[in-house]
């Protein structure tokens, strides 16, 4: 993990810390054998992670999801092909079999709007959008798997113009210039007398440089200046909320949400990142903002949402409380109850991309999980890849799943973890993969 001020703050936006957990004592052969046997009783094998072809092997997942309106699908690394490809496959299946219509990504709100314009209307070039939007700590999303997903979504909409799929971003690390334009254009159209006031409040905030450069420059501003910028976005949001919706309530609500997203970005950076307590507060704010954005989208579009994020962000229990007091999954469960389902992902061995201590991107490869880890037992199940409903596993596996033990959870930087994770209290469903391979990053 990068240790300079801006690097620490932005690394925490997308990754967990690097404090390794202790290794739990290995279970006896008799005990572990009984656990494996019980896990096998509830495990459903997966044919492949690749999105092409038949998806009937995912039907057991349908019952596990039930009537959930939002499903969080995690990843144990931020840059493995198998996790990204599986998300494409699961989304395609849920679209065709369960009526899901939105793919939500741990990316910025304004990025999501640009990609949504493409999948809905064919506006823009997805390669260029991804190149321009997915920079710095978002660069991991600029990969060939997500490009294939976006192109599939566009093709689906050409075949189903009256029942389209949608793309959204829920994060608060960046707001593109078009988002400022959306708010000020609405004000100019409906409340022209307020145009000068909004121009003043948003002064100096509309990006004029590339995404990564803007994020770096923003965090390098003095703390007091970042606080003042957040104060102005808050004033703009409050002013807009005080206006009457008029006849176009939907347009008003979109404008308020866009102004909310602008305020979220400013507030995300308006913490003192030299203070560990404020860093933790900023991460809690980020997860609460991501959850709020997903909830707004689901409520206003009426679509079922597949939420793609790190295992930590879709889960219920934090396993790095010093940096992440409460996770997005916990906020969503608070609001949706059983209407939210968390699906975690684990892997036994393989490769991924992550930033090293030299600040360069490397392809890292890990061998089989060690003794005392969750993955060591999970990989003994006779299926290479499988899905498991953690809520319905029989004893003694249930008791085993309730205990926290070292588990891989790797963000944008490596080394990272492992962390003590109790799988059954962190997720509802688990997908375990035997091996993963590093994703292919674009434009590198």
Structure confidence at residue 339 (pLDDT):
98
Contact 303, 274 (CB under 8 A): no
Contact 402, 69 (CB under 8 A): no
Contact 198, 180 (CB under 8 A): no
N-terminal to C-terminal alpha carbon distance within the chain: 21
The whole-angstrom separation of Cα 13 and Cα 289 is: 12
* 96 Cβ contact partners less than 8 Å away, ≥ 6 residues apart: 55
Phi/psi zone of residue 44: left (φ > 0), alpha (ψ -120 to 50 degrees), beta?
Answer: beta
- Kind and range of the H or E run holding 130: helix 126-133
The whole-angstrom separation of Cα 232 and Cα 230 is: 5
Structure confidence at residue 227 (pLDDT):
98
Structure confidence at residue 28 (pLDDT):
60
Nearest to 26 by CA among 366, 319, 370, 348: 370
Structure confidence at residue 17 (pLDDT):
37
Overall residue count recorded for the chain in this entry: 444
Q: How many CB atoms lie within 10 A of CB 371?
A: 13
- Kind and range of the H or E run holding 307: strand 304-308
* 181 Cβ contact partners less than 8 Å away, ≥ 6 residues apart: none
Q: What is the 3-state secondary structure (H, E, C) of 341-384?
A: EEEEEEEEEEEEEEECCCCCEEEEEECCCCCCCHHHHHCCCCCC
Joined together, the tokens standing for residue 180 give 């400022």
* 417 Cβ contact partners less than 8 Å away, ≥ 6 residues apart: 16, 18, 20, 21, 406, 407, 408, 409, 410
Rounded-to-5 percentages of helix, strand, coil across the chain: 50, 15, 35
The whole-angstrom separation of Cα 120 and Cα 202 is: 29
Contact 399, 389 (CB under 8 A): no
Residue by residue, pLDDT tens for the chain (444 residues) are 233 334 445 555 544 333 334 444 555 655 789 999 999 999 999 999 999 999 999 999 999 999 999 999 999 999 999 999 999 999 999 999 999 999 999 999 999 999 999 999 999 999 999 999 999 999 999 999 999 999 999 999 999 999 999 999 999 999 999 999 999 999 999 999 999 999 999 999 999 999 999 999 999 999 999 999 999 999 999 999 999 999 999 999 999 999 999 999 999 999 999 999 999 999 999 999 999 999 999 999 999 999 999 999 999 999 999 999 999 999 999 999 999 999 999 999 999 999 999 999 999 999 999 999 999 999 999 999 999 999 999 999 999 999 999 999 999 999 999 999 999 999 999 999 999 999 999 998
Q: What dihedral angle (degrees, nearest 10) is formed by the CA atoms of 427, 430, 434, 438?
A: -60
Structure confidence at residue 11 (pLDDT):
52
DSSP string, 402-432: HS-EEE----SBSS---EEE-HHHH-SEEEE
The whole-angstrom separation of Cα 154 and Cα 117 is: 10
pTM higher than 0.85, yes or no?
Answer: yes
Nearest to 38 by CA among 404, 370, 400, 387: 400
Structure confidence at residue 6 (pLDDT):
42
Q: How many CB atoms lie within 10 A of CB 132?
A: 17
């Amino acid at each position: 993990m990068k240790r300079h001020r801006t690097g620490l703050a932005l690394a925490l936006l997308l990754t967990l810390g690097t404090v390794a957990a202790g290794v739990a004592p290995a279970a006896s052969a008799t005990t572990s054998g009984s656990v494996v046997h019980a896990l096998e009783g509830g495990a459903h094998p997966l044919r492949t992670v690749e999105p092409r072809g038949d998806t009937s092997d995912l039907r057991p997942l349908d019952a596990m999801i039930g009537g959930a309106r939002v499903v969080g699908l995690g990843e144990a690394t931020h840059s493995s092909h198998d996790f990204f490809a599986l998300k494409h496959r699961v989304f395609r299946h849920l679209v065709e079999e369960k009526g899901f219509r939105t793919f939500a990504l741990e990316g910025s709100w304004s990025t999501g709007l640009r990609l949504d314009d493409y999948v809905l209307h064919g506006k823009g070039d997805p390669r260029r959008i991804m190149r321009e939007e997915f920079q710095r700590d978002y660069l991991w999303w600029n990969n060939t798997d997500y490009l294939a997903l976006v192109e599939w979504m566009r093709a689906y909409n050409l075949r189903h113009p009256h029942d389209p799929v949608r793309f959204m971003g829920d994060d608060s690390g960046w707001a593109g210039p078009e988002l400022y334009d959306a708010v000020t254009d609405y004000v100019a159209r409906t409340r022209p007398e307020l145009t000068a006031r909004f121009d003043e409040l948003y002064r100096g905030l509309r990006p004029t440089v590339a995404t990564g450069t803007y994020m770096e420059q923003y965090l390098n501003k003095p703390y007091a200046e970042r606080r003042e910028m957040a104060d102005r976005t808050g004033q703009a949001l409050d002013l807009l909320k005080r206006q009457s919706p008029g006849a176009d309530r939907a347009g008003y609500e979109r404008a308020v949400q866009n102004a909310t997203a602008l305020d979220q970005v400013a507030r995300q950076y308006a913490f003192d990142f030299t203070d560990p307590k404020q860093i933790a507060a900023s991460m809690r704010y980020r997860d609460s903002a991501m959850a709020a954005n997903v909830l707004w989208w689901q409520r206003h579009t009426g679509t079922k949402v597949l939420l793609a994020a790190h295992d930590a962000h879709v889960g219920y229990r934090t396993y790095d409380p010093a940096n992440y007091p409460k996770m997005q999954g916990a906020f969503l469960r608070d609001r949706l109850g059983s209407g939210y389902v968390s699906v975690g992902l684990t892997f036994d061995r393989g490769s991924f991309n992550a930033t090293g201590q030299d600040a360069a991107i490397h392809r890292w490869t890990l061998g089989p999980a060690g003794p005392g880890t969750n993955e060591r037992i999970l990989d003994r199940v006779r299926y290479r890849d499988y899905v498991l409903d953690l809520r319905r596993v029989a004893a003694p596996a249930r008791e085993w799943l309730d205990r926290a033990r070292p588990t891989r959870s790797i963000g944008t930087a490596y080394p990272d973890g492992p962390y003590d994770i109790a799988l059954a209290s962190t997720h509802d469903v688990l997908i375990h993969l035997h091996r993963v391979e590093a994703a292919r990053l674009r434009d590198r």
